[in-house]
Structure 1
Amino acid sequence: MREYWKEHSKESSAKEMMLDSKGELLVTAEVDEIMSYLPPLSNKDVIELGAGIGRYTGLLAEKCKSLVAVDFMEGFLKKNKELNCHHGNINYKCVDVTKLELPLVSADLVFSNWLMMYLSDDEVKALVASQLSWLREGGYCFARESCFRQSGDLTRSFNPSKYRAPADYERLFRSVSLPTEDDQGVYIFELVLSKSVDAYIRLKNNNSQIVWLLQKVRVGKERYQGYHTFQQFLDSRQYSKESILRYEKVFGQNFVSTGGLKTTQEFVSMLDLKKGQKVLDVGAGIGGSAFYMAKEYGVNVLGVDLSSNMISIALERVEQMAGDKSQVKFEVADVTKRQYPCDSFDVIYSRDTILHIQDKPALFSKFYSWLKPGGKVMISDYCCKDGELSEEYKAYVRQRGYFVVSPQQYGQLLNSAGFTAVRTEDRTEQFVEVLKGELCQTEKNKEEFIAEFTEDGYNTIVNGWKDKLRRCGMGDQRWALFYGEKPDSSQPQ
């Protein structure tokens, strides 16, 4: 690795550091964006790993109380010191990060920008454990890596980089835990945000530059069905990569929601989308609805999902797209914790996702604030009947981690959040017909399905669809469509 960077550090320039002929332009374009993803740094202690020539060192030093800048190339640190000698709060360390030793529980943020792609999986896990130990409880880890493929265009005699998928990094982040001081739980990294760098999409049509913001949190010994967090449960169980691809086999290419393209076409047609509008797709899955809206209506879609496996597959599909990739962007985030500026979107669209969220009133209030005046919300979701539910349905909801209400209650929650023109449509009959069609097609293609996913995978789908049909027949399980508008005060009433 040292030989690799000796080859690319003759000038210690941004062009060399970024291994890209557009290095200076990219630095200018991305720096404010990268800094915007960080938590407040006032009076905080920061560690910068792979500090290089100081593209971010000075910016971090301006905002924080103290900064430890680490790099293993003396030439880079020399340049860094020249650029940032006016800052009196920087401690420089020339050391390999895999051998770095720092005081425990001494930092509020560990920042790295292109680092783990040069480490093996075992080295990444060891570094994640070290970062977890260096951080105070509630502290943050920020990382940025090239995923899937090389981004820089400079010629290299050899390339030791490992271009992992985003989900691979997230598995490595999740693989480490440390016992708490009282031995009553463990510390882990909880994912706050993961998304593509917008500057690279805009300038290079490249969605594979990924950032992560993770927080050190304490979790008790009681786990969510054997997992530290709900997100880990989703990615390991219901939305494992194999499960997602099985769903896609049923719903159609790029879709993991009821009816696939057909219901998407029907529902989206009701929104009267206009070219250039901004759409937030909540629970975007692997991108089917987002791709469809962008292609057919010319809108700009931000797809957000809690499952890193979903978004990793969506980003792979973006990589396979021809032409402009800037119309569709994806991020991994908990929408109940994510913050977007008020009046950001023309439409909020969600398919069979909000059943995972308990505090629906708080979420709908967020939706209301995020929408522009006159904006629209459209949601399809699993619901339940009014009255007493069967023990079978209760067990199903509990096992899946769902929080369901009746269609009438759902509509009332939208009204209470301030939405007007609210429509509630019980679509259970349509749901049943769609389920029957999907089940019939799956059974018809049994041999093909088994060859691709095993017989157990086939039985999981077939039995799951039969169970849904039975629950609908009992009246417990409902499926409904909801629509609402944010009033536009500029329009006459």
Structure 2
Amino acid sequence: MPVSLELCGTKGTPAASSLPSTSSLNMSIKDLSITNPTNVRGKMKQFWEQYEPSPCSMMLCSAANDTLAAEDRLQILKTCPDLKGKRVLELGAGIGRFTTELAKVALSVTAVDFIEAYTDLNRETNGHNPHVSFMTADVTELDIRPNSFDVIFSNWLLMYLGDDEVEKLTVKMLSWVKTDGYLFVRESCYRPSGDIKRESNPTFYRSPSEYFAILQHNIYEDSRKHKFTFLCERALSIEAYIRHYGNPFQLGFVLRKMPHNADSYDSFQSFLDGNQYTEEGIKRYEFIFGKTYVSTGGAATTEEFVKPLNLTPSLSLLDVGCGIGGSAFYIARTYGSKVHGIDLSTNMISMAVKYQSEMEESVRKAVSFEMSDVTKHDFEENTFDVIYSRDTILHIVDKDALFSKFFKWLKPGGKVLITDYCHGDKENHSEEFVKYVMQRGYQLLSVGAYGQLLEKVGFESVVADDKTKEFMDILELELKNFNKQKSEFIELFSEADFKYIEDGWKSKLVRCGAGDQAWGLFTATKPQ
């Protein structure tokens, strides 16, 4: 049965949030005020009422043929959380492009849109389904009984709402969806998705970082004073738009409702994004390693380590801990291989996607990025020819389980290439090294133990190469070049930042020289 949309007083209220400035948003109508809901809604309704209810109009793309529409739908549905047997609220349902698909698996679907003609066509197409109900309503004025739905689905909705409206709607959605329920959001970031020319364009093209912030930083408090928030579990560019247009700015976000308290809300993702990998921190590392790189040696070690893999255009590669995309871009440009990069840091992925848009078309179309926890993710068996990871797995506790996943995801004969921080073979490590490892949350093995773990899960031809001497040589060179660029760095950042980086590199050299820290290069093959 369709869910009854009982109108009710709002039981939840938004807590104070620390939303970042949105001065970078691109708005084409000068008199469209983010803080004036009436103005925004009126403009939006006027904007959409000028279009006929058709796929081209919904996608604002003259090339919105059956192929593009079908590929777009397929990936959106694959990206969504499990919908089978779930109560689904579809916001901004339009003419029902997704309602039809949602109805095939969901227990119930409630489709909402604020344009009556669109709702009428959706009802005409999908009204034969007894478990689908329809409503013409403005989502900003919608009130629904708390905990009514398992999943809330929206496709191209928030980009037509001002910041205040998105904040308020996020709090409402937190009340509408059950605890551990999901929100799926798909939006155009930075620029339009299609090519239909418009006299006016009342759209807010936010950055991925702004969506991560606005969707995760709002809090709902229920009648029992329990607080809830959304945590983004996955975000990725929509493959159809990359493949057809080289456009990485169509992003889908999967968020889970969870209690907001000190124990459950603090996550490793927030630790990374708030400490070592803040946007400013990433840019400091990039200054040393080179544009788009955040791993030891930058482009030079990437070229050196990738060459023996004998990559070709027919191969697909998974880049685990892809950072801001340097290795992925190099591999796509040099070898033509398809690369899918995955990283837990929202800041890393936001920057990687932005850099992707600046690359030549062949590279843009060969690379895709995803924000996700690789330890909780799953790809189909025998998906990739190569799994590549640079200085990332040091963060992961259960390397055994991760390497078992690598083994499953690789095709027979597929290869892994990993570089990673390790600890030296000495029995008693210095107090400074132990403190450093604890502060960073690293989980280190010796080079030998690392290789043995790869063998344990089934890999063959395992090579565990201690590259500590090369690592120290690279550190010395990076430190030398860094000092030559001191004035430029301080102009961009600060004297304190320079000292922090310089001391960090010198400390690595001391730890390696004392036998505390090591650096390993690991290669292995999945049996045929």
- Please report the TM-score for the alignment, with normalisation by the length of structure 2: 0.88
Q: Select 2:509's aligned residue among 460, 469, 483.
A: 469
Structure 1 residues 180, 406: CA separation in 2 closer, same or farther (over 3 Å shift)? farther
Uncovered stretches (5+) of structure 1, i.e. residues with no partner: 489-493
* 1:342 aligned onto 2:381: yes
Q: CA deviation at 1:239?
A: 0.8
More off after superposition, 203-212 vs 375-384: 203-212
How large is the RMSD of aligned CA atoms in angstroms?
1.7
Describe the SS at the equivalent of 1:214: strand
> Are 2:62 and 1:21 aligned?
yes
> Which deviates more from structure 2 when the two are superposed, residues 115-124 or residues 3-12?
3-12
User: How far off is 1:323 after superposition?
Assistant: 2.0
Q: Give the whole-Å Cα distance in 2 for the aligned partners of 1:364 and 1:414.
A: 7
Q: Which residue of 1 aligns with 2:53?
A: 12
Among 369, 372, 375, which residue is 2:414 paired with? 375
Match of 1:326 among 353, 356, 365: 365
Could you say which residue in structure 1 is the equivalent of 2:153? Answer: 111
Superposition map of 1:398-477 within 5 A: 398-477=438-517
1:251 maps onto 2:289 in alignment: yes
Unmatched 5+ stretches in structure 2:
1-40
State the shift of 1:298 in Å: 1.5
**How many Å apart are 1:6 and its aligned residue?**
3.7
* 2:219 matches 1:177: yes
**What CA distance in whole angstroms lies between the structure 1 residues aligned with 2:193 and 2:88?**
28
- Closer, same or farther: CA 6–53 of 1 in aligned 2, 3 Å: farther
Measure the CA separation in 2 of the matches of 1:179 and 1:270. Answer: 55
How far residue 274 of structure 1 moved from its aligned partner, in angstroms, is 2.2
User: TM-score of the superposition, structure 1-length normalised?
Assistant: 0.94
For residues 181 and 411 of structure 1, do their structure 2 counterparts lie closer, same or farther at Cα, with a shift above 3 Å needed? farther
In 1, are the aligned partners of 2:245 and 2:365 still within 8 Å (CA)? no
SS in 2 for 1:462: helix
CA distance in 1, matches of 2:419, 2:151: 39
Structure 1 counterpart of 2:268, from 230, 233, 239: 230
Give the superposition deviation at 1:94. 2.1
1:191–1:212 Cα contact (<8 Å) kept: yes
Give the aligned residue type for 1:364.
F
1:302 equivalent in alignment to 2:340: yes
SS in 1 for 2:187: strand
Structure 1 residue 477, shift from structure 2 partner? 1.1
Alignment of 1:139-178 (within 5 A): 139-178=181-220
3-state secondary structure, aligned to 2:263 = coil
Shift of 1:15: 1.3
SS for the counterpart of 1:77 is helix
2:396 maps to 357
Give the Cα separation in 2 of the matches to 1:192 and 1:465. Answer: 33
Asked whether the 8 Å contact 2:339–2:366 carries over to 1, the reply is yes
1:127-146 Cα shifts (integer Å, max 9, x gaps)? 22222221112211101000
Identity of aligned residues (%): 46
Provide the residue aligned with 1:88 in structure 2.
Answer: 130
Residues in 2 aligned to 1:32 and 1:247: alpha-carbon distance in whole angstroms: 37
- The aligned residue for residue 491 of structure 1 is none
Alignment partner for residue 178 of structure 2, among 133, 136, 148? 136
Higher relative contact order (CA 8 A, sep 6+): 2
* Number of the residue aligned with 1:97: 139
Paired residue secondary structure (1:23)? coil
Query: Could you list the per-position Cα deviations for residues 369-424 of structure 1 after superposition, in whole angstroms to 9, with x for gaps in the alignment?
Result: 00011110010000112322222222211111111111111111101010011111
C-alpha distance after superposition, 1:340-369 (max 9, x if no partner): 111111110000000111000000000000
Q: Secondary structure at the match of 1:201?
A: helix
Question: Counterpart amino acid of 1:232?
Answer: S
Amino acid aligned to 1:476 = D
Partner of 2:88: 46
By how many angstroms is 1:220 displaced? 4.4
Question: What do the CA deviations read for 1:232-270 (whole angstroms, capped 9, x no partner)?
Answer: 111121111111111110001111000001111111112
Structure 2: how far apart are the matches of 1:418 and 1:218? 39
Instruction: Please give the alpha-carbon distance, in whole angstroms, between the structure 2 residues aligned to 1:68 and 1:114.
Output: 17
* Residue identity opposite 1:113 in structure 2: N
Deviation readout 1:69-107 (Å, 9 max, x if unpaired): 111112211121111110112232222212211111111
SS in 2 for 1:162: coil
Given that residues 248 and 357 in structure 2 are in contact (C-alpha distance below 8 angstroms), is that contact kept between their aligned partners in structure 1? Answer: yes
- The one-letter code sitting in structure 1 at the alignment partner of 2:525 is E
User: What aligned pairs does 1:49-60 form with structure 2 within 5 A after superposition?
Assistant: 49-60=91-102
Aligned residues: 484
